[in-house]
Chains A and B, each alone.
Chain A
């Protein structure tokens, strides 16, 4: 039962990837001008264009090009950047690592903090502490991320001179230098992603707290901390996992503004650059990586919800 449901989710994930690949391919195809034109620029004559198109396989019908592209993607060949001539895999590789490091560090800090604060607020509903958390999270959710980023720069870099205002990454940095460089984007993103996770944890726990089995636990003399951690948390975990997954996906694909502000060389920024230079194969590759990240994280969240449901884990 559980295996079946999990497998079904995997199939849905794969189907989603296919649909997205078609959409990405069509969207980039209908943009005016193709790669041949970009490469040759203004000096292109119809003859040179035709030759280059044949070389690149651009004269083939759209569906053939689609499957060729899909085949290449699936075998890990992301193609060559049509603008710079470099292999896209190399171009993306370093940026991808940077993005994963940033996302990983933010996740490592924000998830425990969020769950802790969410549980803490749920344990003391209505107190000043709970109100502070609620007010704080509501404020950070309502404020756009560039504002938070700018505010951080203003306070921590401009006024206090504690941290550099940009995330300059060089080779052979010491760990401390590295952390100082990463600190601004990490702090900003932790603030941005934690708010939702804190609110969801708090709401999920409080929702479960009105169940009869929680009243029963109170009447059994179970201390409040144990009620929250043992009796409520595992029943509230499904929605919490989903919010975490969505926020992680955002960290990989949606942080372009933060990357730009701190000049952090991440994947999202690379994609924007690709759009500006009309480097279509690069844009396609980035889009597929982002989509893949979403699909995988949501798949993990779905399977996590299935596994956390004892009715599915232990059928009759």
Chain B
């Protein structure tokens, strides 16, 4: 579409926003940014963390985060400067003219108020609609956003619906008052790949139907390619480049844009990882879990009240990285918690170098504790804010190795070097460090124990792609140097593909597929593995539409994880499920070469047959014309 025919909605002119430090010195956060938004257009602001993208987007609501100030320029909405509007008018702009959608719907919905009241509140308060009209419109939006039970979801509370549903409900909340502009701040970043597709699809549909304009803030170019008309590339509070989505994606001119493109997570395919050296090979696995069942609540006859993991067997070889993938709620973290002894298993065994371990942390010996260390997802909450880095790293040194004084100090410096941080950091506090640096300290604390196995639970998920990639590089180097093994839990398939030696695919608490990375990422696939891989967005305009046309996606995306005791848990989302078999009997484990296992009722031949179909789904746009590859029947 050509810009001349459209009406200008927002003009951001030379916008400047600053923070002031303790010495009252001005720190420029946004340094003169200019761009326009036309009616019905989605403008994406992209950049790394610290690029000022969220700050700029909030300016359209005449809002700054505490500590920031508007220092220049204007933001015209329908010709009116929102920055200088009086407080009452500002309040009207927020909600009535511009609506905001935050990154984490789970935190943004008030837990004490029904969904319906929160969705309609703004429209009713600003006098745009009466309560009845607003409720009616909200129900229409629930229908449009394809939410389950659209007529009744409004009377529920936020904790009663899933994360993906909340994210869509937030879109309903934003749209209810028919705003001129929506601001979407990383609305899919915290979601599973499968949920991300579902939410993106719904957003795109309502934006088109409502003919609303939007600012879409993200660091993920592949997502932007699916939804944006116009892209603004930001770095350090300045615009590097802007243009139509087609131009930025297909012909980027600025070096920084090309750097961002390179940081786009690659499609998870075989051959991305580096092979592990043989010098660390040993006879016995570092950690092995055998036929283990675990869950929450009291244990009766080896069955927990709420079973999460069922009959899980996993070996972690020495100096290997075992990637554990699956959607949220599949039991990934529970597996690590059982290995660490935080959650004792109900049945089965956990072994460390062929020695059986007690289920509970309290019964394990000191050296067993020392050999298995946990790295938690959020460095912010895992590091004590009142302790210096030297105290944080010194504690495991003292506890496990009895180091004191100079010796301890020397070791702290050595560990800081291992995670590529300068020795001066020892005297700092966690809040003085950046997100990536905190995550390094978080890992350094576990490394200080000198473990055999590190259990990493989503350690790169909260970091942006460039910082995350550096952390992975560091982990690989550590593995090669020290021979430590990793259990690497992540919902990010690309990272796992580039880092893990072996992959375990967990679904609803069961291992559906496991084996060497290159085998797991090559056909034949378990249908669930294929769904996960197909859901990773590609940096290609039109990918979302193409993908959603596949039958597999339609079936797989519509439903969520349900933990079942009977049959194959994936049955209700599987495009190839066999009624009477898959829903009744537990699937057999099918052995392939190289220790590759798939747990499925379909034979390897069936799966390979479906593989032609799979190829089409994975690279559908390339091979659609090739008649020979069309599925049989």
Contacts and interface: CB of A to CB of B under 8 A. Distances in A.
Interface in B81-111: 90-96, 99-100, 102, 104, 107-111
B386 to A, nearest CB: 19
A221 B92 contact: yes
A42 interface: no
Interface stretch (A64-72, A210-218, A247-255): A210-218
Interface string A223-253: 1001000110011000000000000000000
Interface in B103-137: 104, 107-113, 121-122, 125-126
A10 B160 CA distance: 27
Nearest to A216: B108
A226 B90 CA distance: 16
Contact of A222 (B102, B125, B159): B125
A229 B22 CA distance: 34
Interface string A192-218: 000000000000000000011101111
Given A310-B157, A314-B157, A218 B63 contact: yes
B481 interface: no
A54 interface: no
Contacts of A221: 90-96, 122, 125-126
A276 to B, nearest CB: 50
A311 B157 CA distance: 8
Contacts of B61: 219
Sort chain A's interface into a size bin.
20 to 34
A294 B110 CA distance: 33
Sort chain B's interface into a size bin.
20 to 34
Contacts of A226: 125
Given A219-B61, A220-B122, A235 B111 contact: yes
Contacts of B111: 213, 235, 310-311
B214 to A, nearest CB: 15
A149 B442 CA distance: 55
A316 interface: yes
Nearest to B122: A220
Given A222-B121, A310-B159, A314-B156, A216 B126 contact: no
A218 B122 CA distance: 10
Contact of A219 (B94, B113, B126): B94
- A211, A216, A218, A231 interface centre (most CB from chain B within 10 Å): A216
Contacts of A215: 102, 108
A308 B112 CA distance: 8
B113 A222 contact: no
Nearest to A231: B110
A310 B112 CA distance: 6
Nearest to A226: B125
B100 A223 contact: no
A170 B126 CA distance: 58
Interface in A292-316: 308, 310-311, 314, 316
A123 to B, nearest CB: 15
B127 to A, nearest CB: 11
Nearest to A210: B66
Contacts of B63: 218-219
A213 B95 contact: no
A60 B401 CA distance: 62
Nearest to B63: A219
16 contacts: A212-B102, A213-B109, A215-B108, A216-B102, A218-B63, A219-B63, A221-B92, A221-B93, A221-B96, A221-B122, A222-B95, A222-B125, A226-B125, A231-B110, A310-B112, A311-B157
Given A221-B90, A222-B125, 8 more contacts: A212-B102, A212-B104, A215-B102, A219-B58, A219-B63, A219-B95, A234-B113, A235-B111
The 7 closest A-B pairs by CB, nearest first: A221-B95, A221-B94, A212-B107, A234-B112, A220-B122, A219-B100, A213-B110
